[in-house]
């Protein structure tokens, strides 16, 4: 049954099962259709909205205070919001932060992203947890004129993310160099001027803070599009290869990414490090399989256990697919697992400096428990360079 409308609703969220949530719209007007997920992070809404891994999704924020620090150009993880829209409990108030350059609603409107406030996000989150990530239509009309039947048909007509390659939609158009390092008080972003390790990062939807983290670990980074071939990667004579995060079904992206990774593994002994979709690409290249999760992992409070050290890290997560640990081949070791549901969160090759993790060790604004993985990648390249001498 539809939720009771609020006074003069200007936005509504229609789920494919017929449930309707009414609220107040902000940001752009119009209609958007996507998969709906929820994120439990208490900070970082701007980074979340600009994370390319959210392509094809609308984000429900479980934390109610969204918009209170405004937005600013320094916190973008990509040029524009990539998430299709946002759902929040309370309408954003006027921002109160010295770094704010724009209000959240104005920022969303200028970039064509729809948002709805005044929604019972606890009820919505329970529904997603119980029934899985639904297909939805989100509409914002200042006059409050909604054709619910049409919106329901649009939600039911959304094809979903399974079988969908979204990496090609969010990857870079051409290669480029990256030298900006992580933000540090009081000077902000410094530049890496003496990178010791030449790294090629294959961009399946890279977050800027991943590239900054590589630069801060001493890497001279060259970014290549998702469709890059092994020949194009190796033409840069890299010390290591990095596989970035990204959106969509890993099996679909793997159609062209997996052969490239396999060729590099067959032809070289280069260190390789993958994050999120990059983790899934590596797993597929090594012979494992991936599966669609019920509602995925999206938040900044996810406990992950390092199975080799016993250490538990609090991590940032954003993925709706996972590597099936039961399909990992001989010679591939599971290194990290989620303490929420036991799903795979990391692998490594037993005899080579090739590894990957599902979590985001670069997480900005946090947590930073897993940043050591960038140092591990740098150490593996140092060891390989030393062995050549």
Measured CA to CA, the distance from residue 130 to residue 167 in angstroms comes to 28
> Could you tell me the pLDDT band of residue 365, with boundaries at 50, 70 and 90?
confident
pLDDT at 186: 87
Beta strands 197-203; 240-243: pairing state: parallel
Owning domain of residue 132 = 11-157
pLDDT at 3: 46
Classify burial at 231, counting beta carbons within 10 Å of its beta carbon; exposed 0-12, middle 13-18, buried 19 or more. Answer: exposed
Among residues 135, 279, 336, 360, the one annotated as catalytic is: 360
Which tokens belong to 287?
A: 């012979």
Convert the chain into a string of H (helix), E (strand) and C (coil): CCCCCCCCCCEEEEECCCCEEEEEEEECCEEEEEEEEEECCCCCHHHHHCCHHHCCEEEEECCCCCCCCCECHHHCCCCCCCCCEEECCCCCCCCCCCCCCECHHHHHHHCCCEEEECCCHHHHHHHHHHHCCCEEEEEECCCCCCCHHHHHHHHHHCCCCCCCCCHHHHCCCCCEEECEEEEECCCEEEECCCCCEEEEEEECCCCHHHHHHHHHCCEEEEEEECCCCHHHHHCCCCCEEEECCCCCCHHHHHHHHHHHHHHHHHHCCCCEEEECHHHHHHHHHCCCEEEEEEEEEEEEEEEEEECCCCCEEEEEEEEEEEEEHHHCCCCEEEEEEECCCCCEEEEEECCCCEEEECCECCCCCCCCCCCHHHHHHHHHHHHHHHHHC
The more confident residue out of 6 and 321 is 321
- Among candidate residues 114, 131, 157, the one where a domain is terminated: 157
2 found inside a domain: no
Please count the CA atoms within 13 angstroms of the CA of 365 that sit on its side-chain side. Answer: 8
Average pLDDT rounded to a whole number, residues 375-389: 93
Give yes or no: 362 in active site.
Answer: yes
Residue in the block written with tokens 């704010």: 100
Please count the CA atoms within 13 angstroms of the CA of 178 that sit on its side-chain side. Answer: 30
322 touches 344 (CB < 8 A): yes
48 found inside a domain: yes
CATH of the domain at 30: 3.50.30.20
Mean model confidence pLDDT for the chain: 96
User: What are the pLDDT digits (tens) for 208-255?
Assistant: 999 999 999 999 999 999 999 999 999 999 999 999 999 999 999 999
User: What are the pLDDT digits (tens) for 121-164?
Assistant: 999 999 999 999 999 999 999 999 999 999 999 999 999 999 99
- Asked whether residue 131 falls in the same domain as residue 180, the answer is no
- Asked whether residue 52 falls in the same domain as residue 73, the answer is yes
- Asked whether residue 308 falls in the same domain as residue 176, the answer is yes
Average pLDDT rounded to a whole number, residues 315-341: 98
Measured CA to CA, the distance from residue 382 to residue 240 in angstroms comes to 10
Give yes or no: 232 in active site.
Answer: no
> Could you tell me the pLDDT band of residue 379, with boundaries at 50, 70 and 90?
very high
pLDDT at 87: 98
> Could you tell me the pLDDT band of residue 5, with boundaries at 50, 70 and 90?
very low
Please count the CA atoms within 13 angstroms of the CA of 362 that sit on its side-chain side. Answer: 26
Give yes or no: 360 in active site.
Answer: yes
- Among candidate residues 157, 189, 206, the one where a domain is terminated: 157
pLDDT at 187: 87
- Asked whether residue 179 falls in the same domain as residue 221, the answer is yes
- Asked whether residue 293 falls in the same domain as residue 200, the answer is yes
Domain count, the chain: 2
Phi, psi torsion values for 295, nearest 5 degrees: -135, 5
pLDDT over 70 at 2, yes or no: no
pLDDT at 59: 98
- Asked whether residue 194 falls in the same domain as residue 120, the answer is no
Average pLDDT rounded to a whole number, residues 327-354: 98
Phi, psi torsion values for 38, nearest 5 degrees: -125, 150
Measured CA to CA, the distance from residue 310 to residue 64 in angstroms comes to 34
Among residues 37, 219, 276, 345, the one annotated as catalytic is: 276
CA distances to 20, 44, 72, 251 from 5, rounded to whole Å, are 9, 30, 34, 41
4 found inside a domain: no
312-324: strand order across its sheet: 176-178, 219-225, 197-203, 240-243, 272-275, 354-357, 344-349, 332-338, 289-306, 312-324
Rg value, the chain, Cα: 21
- Among candidate residues 157, 182, 197, the one where a domain is terminated: 157
* Out of 58-62, 187-191, 302-306, 352-356, least confident range: 187-191
pLDDT over 70 at 4, yes or no: no
357 touches 279 (CB < 8 A): yes
Q: Which residues contact 258 (CB under 8 A, 6 or more apart)?
A: 281, 284, 285
Q: Which residues pair with 290 in a beta bridge?
A: 323
pLDDT at 1: 36
CATH of the domain at 290: 3.40.50.880
- Asked whether residue 188 falls in the same domain as residue 279, the answer is yes
Average pLDDT rounded to a whole number, residues 4-22: 88
6 found inside a domain: no
């Amino acid at each position: 049954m539809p939720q009771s409308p609020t006074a003069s609703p200007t936005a509504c969220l229609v789920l494919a099962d017929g449930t309707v949530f009414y609220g107040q719209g902000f940001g752009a007007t119009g209609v958007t259709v996507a998969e709906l997920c929820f994120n439990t992070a208490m900070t970082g809404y701007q980074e979340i909205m600009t994370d390319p891994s959210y392509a094809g999704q609308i984000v429900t924020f479980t934390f109610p205070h969204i918009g209170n620090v405004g937005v600013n150009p320094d916190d973008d993880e990509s040029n524009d919001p990539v998430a299709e829209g946002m759902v929040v409990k309370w309408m954003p108030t006027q921002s109160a932060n010295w770094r704010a350059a724009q209000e959240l609603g104005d920022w969303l409107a200028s970039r064509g992203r729809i948002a709805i406030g005044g929604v019972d996000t606890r009820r919505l989150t329970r529904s997603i947890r119980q029934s899985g990530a639904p297909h939805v239509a989100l509409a914002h009309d200042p006059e409050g004129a909604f054709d619910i039947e049409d919106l329901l048909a649009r939600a039911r007509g959304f094809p979903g993310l399974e079988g969908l390659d979204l990496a090609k939609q969010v990857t870079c158009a051409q290669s480029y160099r990256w030298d900006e390092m992580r933000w540090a008080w009081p000077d902000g972003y410094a530049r890496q001027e003496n990178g010791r390790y030449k790294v090629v990062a294959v961009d399946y939807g890279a977050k800027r803070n991943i590239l900054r983290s590589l630069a801060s670990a001493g890497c001279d980074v060259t970014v290549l599009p998702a469709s890059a071939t092994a020949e194009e990667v190796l033409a840069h004579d890299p010390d290591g290869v990095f596989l970035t995060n990204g959106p969509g079904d890993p099996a679909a992206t793997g159609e062209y990414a997996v052969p490239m990774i396999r060729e590099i593994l067959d032809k070289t002994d280069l260190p390789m490090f993958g994050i999120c979709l990059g983790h899934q690409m590596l797993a597929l290249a090594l012979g494992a399989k991936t599966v669609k999760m019920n509602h995925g992992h999206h938040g900044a409070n996810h406990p992950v256990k390092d199975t080799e050290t016993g250490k538990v890290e609090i991590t940032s997560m954003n993925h709706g697919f996972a590597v099936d640990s039961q399909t990992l081949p001989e010679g591939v070791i599971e290194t990290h697992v989620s303490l929420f549901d036991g799903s795979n969160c990391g692998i490594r090759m037993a005899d080579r400096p090739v590894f990957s993790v599902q979590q985001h060790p670069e997480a900005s604004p946090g947590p930073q428990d897993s940043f050591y993985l960038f140092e591990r990648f740098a150490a593996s390249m140092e060891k390989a360079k030393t062995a050549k001498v």
